[in-house]
Amino acid sequence: MPTIVHIGFGSNMGDRTGNCRAALKYLDKSSAAEVVKVSSLYLTEPVGFKEQDWFINGAAEISTGLSSLDFLGLLLETENKMGRKRVLRWGPRIIDLDILFFGDEIISSKDLVVPHIFLQDRRFVLEPLFEIAPDKIHPVFGKTVAELLDSLPPEGEKVEKLETGWWDE
């Protein structure tokens, strides 16, 4: 039985929209994953390391028969194929793919923490995730994505909705 996975994606180098599209197409064309839903794109202020270009971010719902670690391997393979270099934590990147939820699993290992450890604190994650899965319940906090988004303070990083329908071709 396939697992429904929610991922966050983003890019702030080169053709940011094209990078996001290419990463999702790579995942969708693999025999191990099917992209089910994709959010609009959002222009987002960098978090952590501020001295860099703004990001294009979004979220996707993916169906997979892989285990969580094998799915993480597929995401890392996608990032590597696209030329991602891990130089500076929270620094510029051609593509970033993060597992937000892996079904309803709670995973805490040296290689993977799910739900994503910062998910509840980041508007740039919650806004696009809300668009595709507002009623998804965070298995640790017992709150929906909508409730998590509502609980964020109004100040914080800037997030602006951009393109809708960018994935439908």
Q: How many CA atoms lie within 13 A of 127 on its CB side?
A: 19
Catalytic choice (21, 93, 122, 123): 93
> Could you tell me which residues come within 8 angstroms of residue 132 by beta carbon, excluding any fewer than 6 positions away?
6, 37, 38, 39, 59, 60, 61
Q: Could you give the C-alpha distances from 102 to 50, 51, 62, 76, in angstroms and in order?
A: 29, 32, 10, 16
Catalytic choice (96, 111, 123, 150): 96
* Tokens representing residue 68 in the block: 């969580």
Q: Is the peptide bond before 115 cis (omega within 30 degrees of 0)?
A: yes
Q: Is 89 a catalytic residue?
A: no
Q: Is 98 a catalytic residue?
A: yes
> Whole-angstrom Cα distance, residue 58 to residue 140?
23
Q: Is 16 a catalytic residue?
A: no
The 3-state DSSP class for residue 86 equals: coil
Catalytic choice (21, 84, 122, 123): 84
Q: Is 96 a catalytic residue?
A: yes
Catalytic choice (16, 21, 98, 123): 98
Residues labelled as active-site residues:
84, 93, 96, 98
